[in-house]
Structure 1
Amino acid sequence: MAKIAVIPKTARTQNKKVRVAAYCRVSTDHNDQVNSYDAQVRYFSGLYSNSKTEVLVDIYADEGISGTSVEKRTEFGRLMEDCRAGKIDRVITKSISRFARNTKDCLQYIRELKGLGITVYFEKENIDTARLSDEMMITVMGGLAQEESQSISNNVRWTFQRAMASGTLRHARIPYGYLKDDKTGNLVIDPEKAMIVRRIFDMYIGGMGIKRIAVQLNEEGIPSPTGIQWNNITINKMLRQEKYIGDTLWQKTYSEFMGKKYQTNYGQQTKYYLRDTHPAIISREDFAKVAEIKKKQAAPKGELIVSPFRKKLICGKCGHSYSSSNYLNNLSWHCGFRNNVPAPCDNITVRDRTLHFAFRAMCDKLHTHGAKIFGTCIHELKRLHKAQDNNTDEATQVRKEIAELKDKKHRLSKLLTKHFIEPEQYSAQVYEIDAQIRMLNRKLEKSPEKKDPITLRLEELAEIFENYDGSEKAQAVVMETAVQKIMVCEDGTIHFQLLDGLEFVERIETYEGH
């Protein structure tokens, strides 16, 4: 006789509550009660106090308004760690601008959270990443948040520039030979180090070269400003430092929003020169003598090498510019960060003729295949813009109408099958429905085509390489208008980087024998 196993009745397992984490950036202003930490705690706690399906795990709050960099937000980092540890099912935040003001970071972390099975809800924009169609909206809103952050950055920059012009801005970096007064924030002379500064100027005026000065200071065991050995770069900067005569030149360097920091200011931004902002270590007469000596030493010793690669050739290992050397009429290029520095770059040297062969080969290939390459890029961009246009409210309504018409057509088919309507009646109504669907589809297809700046530049590139004939004039046009930079990498490759991130690679060994 077959045995029957009796399984005792058990209570139905209750569904676990969704574990919610709230992320916010709170104000550091004590008078700002709306955005204070206590207000945020009350707000988010109230949302879930009586919820039967969700429970608030924790509130993660970073102080201040600066959100351009995720690295500066410790609480955001803690939130991500808890998400990775499986402690959270859902994240809620006020808006995308609170979550991230950088579109790239915003999408990166949202994708990571989606991969972990965690959804994010943005209250202000009413965007929930649980809905698959939201990523395009997140990109747009992230862009708006980035614009908002740029506006704040511009306002901060304007405040600093006003302080520079009025002479009220304090020095963030203290030059060697000075200290900062804790009470006033002004520069005061450090007697011990000021003696070294004066000695460097005296040695240089006395005829000792920069390299020899560095060697002398190192032999005497005198600590350098950088903490490493004295070198030509450090000495040269000190001899050009206007702060040693009591003046201040503001904005020698500048940084672009979300771009490279501390770029040399060659006139892109306004410079502010203020006299007598602090006590001088060096007299103006001695400073002028040093400048005169430097001017004489910088007199041209030969004809300057003119090359299309100058200022565009970059080291792929350390990021410095490549410099040229002409030994026995054999012009070559090497990384500029290799002379008189403690840890020189050892990236490869490349011959000038090799660069020319590789550049011409790249131009020839794009002349032959450019139409297909650029055409594909342009087509994909247009397809993306088309998708964006189709994501508008109007397009959504049109697609909804099409779906309803198709559903009506399907119902008519069922009625015909069950003989509830005559074939003639069915054909007439289906004919009318198909006509309406065709009209709505044409309406979607006729949405205005937008040409963004990237598409226009790609079309310009396609035209440049289509008209390329191999002449020196054509090569000059490509170098001046299409090539942004050329990167030499230690694996023996040359990367030609064109406008808008397009990159083409040539191997050096292919052209070494030419």
Structure 2
Amino acid sequence: MNKERVYGYVRLSRDEDDEKNSLTNQKQILYDYAKSKNYKIIEIFEDDNISGMTFDREGLNKLKEVVELKKADIILVKDLSRIGRHKAYSALFLEYLRENNVKLISVTENIDSLNENDDILIGFKQILNEQYAKDISRKIRAGFKQKQKDGFVIIPPFGYIKNTTTKQIEIFEECADIVRLIYKLYIDGYGSKKIAQYLNERQYHTPAWYHKKLYNKIYHPGKEWIGGEVWSDRTIQRIISNDAYIGVLRCGVSTRSVIYKFKKDLPEEEHIIHENFYPPIINKETWVLAQKIRENRTNNNVRASCNSKIHRYAGLLKCKNCGASFVAKKRDGYVEYVCNGYHRFGKNVCSSHRINEIELDDMIYQYLIRLKEVAEDNLSKIDVFIKEWNYKKRDYSRKIEELKLNIIELKNEAKEYAKQLAKKIINEELFMELIKDNEKEIELLNEQIKTLQEMKQINDNAKLGIQHSIDMLNNIINDKKLSNAHLQMLISKILIAEDENGMLDIEIILNMPFKHHLLLNNTFTQESDT
């Protein structure tokens, strides 16, 4: 019997279910070879159902421990692909064995890793092995893609369940009620953390809990069951942003390499979208409003503590003097909003202009009454308006293209400024001033393009839109209470400036869809004493 210390290694991948590559068959091949060479195999390490593109495997790691302890002279494998299919990692592993003076023998390929004459063959085999893995990866991705195009769903989102008999996706009311509650709280002014706290305090079960209950699966296999019973702000945000709740199945939002395991988000235009796939849990108006609120909070960095709701005007108030947002402060039992430029940096940046919430409510309330009167007047002239809009629409495309060309010219100007700075034709201070002006012009042009694009969408349903908006204004006025939902639905932003006499100039900018429904050409402005 040969005195070399011999170990074996076998591996079976997910895609290899044929008999010739079974672990039993691989082991038999190694035992037969060892017998022919008068070797005694001490132990055979194995990895079952694991890809050859990863080198963090239990069996392979045990084999490395034996090598590290200088207990092995020879390692037997059926073929080189058992070690792995990643060309670079396989080469590194073979080099690691050589450094430890361990011979790897590929039995069916008659390859000896310590034989220099086999180096070219080893390199060729490694290329073929990796190419095989890539081919399998492409086939798997193609299969996934086809299932996405077919609208194939294994496990539906939280709030839905798959009928085991009909295979149809149905609303699971127990969970759907939680989804509806989350949207209601969010629109009412609760932040994501506050909603999570609300649900935890009332012991509502989480999506992870229902996932385990319904499917006997944990959300993230291989990880400990941590936090499965606790709502988090991230879970709330995922539910708020998920358009499945208005019936949309959205597939292909990201791609994951089957080989290298990295994940990459895909642009929205590459998503595979199936409209009206799920029965809606949330109506579209509510969902759109929630997205508007989410975007506003994100863009304006609006936050609330776990113990309070987000203030109703947070994110809507902007200072026309310095461009900062207004921040809410509680004083003597009422809420007031102060320019954040002044609040953070003092009079060097802006003046101390402020306005309290009661004044804002009264101003907005009066504004809505005037708005309704204008809308009712427009309703009586709707036919003339529609004719005028249809005439203007022909010119919008040309104007949009002109504005886009202007933006390109401005961007080229910015590049020219950078060249002048590099050549020291202009100093850094002048460069920053020019770039700031340039960016403001580009932002203004982008806003004009957005306005024109939205105007193009106006159609013959304008009359219904105006009537719907008038009805909504009537409801708000009659309630005599402005909710967070009302403000977010109607208003894009409120611009506040202070003149040299200490007077506040307040401009209300309506959300464009609502403004179009009312067929308004201009915003209203109102002056107020500080």
TM-score by length of 1: 0.47
TM-score by length of 2: 0.46
